[in-house]
């Protein structure tokens, strides 16, 4: 899959204002699929914040690069990612947001696994182009699991049954 195909835009049309944003997303895909932690982190501003799929918070480009280097050398070595662009949300001309879909494919224990997510990005215009200021990723529960079956949604805590008086107890 080409990096361009991995960044398909809803409706297949790209507004002129969105082209530089889509370019940032294309570079994220290219860098991830190449295992290029510096290239991935370069799309973030120096003071960027990233909340990853498991809820951890990375603060700053250096931390983002370090964490992704570990991922690319470990669990997600050789993994592939796609970020189809969903709905753009241009808050202001200098702080646009964009909703993505994520499909992460990796191998572990001889099996291919897939994780779907729903990242939201807010970007800002910097001297050297658009940079990600905030990246929040959320795992999509109920998405197709590795075996093609629908994954079970997160279980809701079960309500406790009200204590019933013991009818055999004597007063």
Q: Residue for token digits 């702080």? A: 95
pLDDT band at 20 (very low <50, low <70, confident <90, very high): confident
- Please check the confidence at residue 160 and state whether its pLDDT lies above 80: no
Q: What is the pLDDT of residue 155?
A: 37
Q: Which domains does the chain have, with CATH numbers?
A: 5-136 (3.10.450.50)
The pLDDT tens digits of the residues spanning 96-154 come to: 888 899 999 999 999 999 999 999 999 998 888 899 999 999 999 876 554 444 443 43
The pLDDT tens digits of the residues spanning 23-81 come to: 999 999 999 999 999 999 999 999 999 999 889 999 999 999 999 999 999 999 999 99
- pLDDT higher at 54 or 17: 54
pTM of the predicted model as reported, rounded to 2 decimal places: 0.76
Q: What is the pLDDT of residue 14?
A: 62
Residue in 20, 1, 143 with CA at minimum distance from that of residue 82? 1
Q: What is the pLDDT of residue 13?
A: 57
Q: What is the pLDDT of residue 170?
A: 47
Instruction: Give the long-range contacts of residues 51-59, CB within 8 A, separation 24 or more.
Output: 51/135, 51/136, 51/137, 52/137, 53/115, 53/117, 53/137, 53/138, 53/139, 54/139
């Amino acid at each position: 899959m080409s990096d361009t195909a991995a960044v398909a835009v809803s409706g297949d049309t790209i507004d002129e204002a969105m082209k530089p944003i889509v370019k940032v997303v294309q570079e994220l895909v290219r860098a991830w699929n190449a295992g290029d932690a510096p290239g991935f982190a370069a799309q973030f501003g120096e003071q960027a914040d990233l909340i990853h799929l498991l809820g951890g918070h990375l603060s700053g480009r250096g931390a983002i690069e370090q964490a992704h280097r570990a991922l690319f050398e470990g669990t997600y070595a050789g993994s592939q990612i796609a970020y189809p662009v969903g709905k753009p949300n241009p808050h202001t001309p200098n702080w646009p947001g964009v909703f993505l879909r994520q499909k992460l494919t990796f191998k572990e224990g001889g099996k291919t696994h897939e994780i779907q997510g729903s990242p939201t990005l807010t970007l800002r215009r910097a001297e050297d182009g658009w940079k990600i200021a905030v990246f929040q990723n959320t795992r999509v529960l109920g998405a197709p699991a590795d075996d093609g079956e629908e994954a079970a949604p997160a279980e809701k805590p079960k309500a406790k049954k009200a204590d019933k008086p013991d009818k055999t107890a004597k007063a």
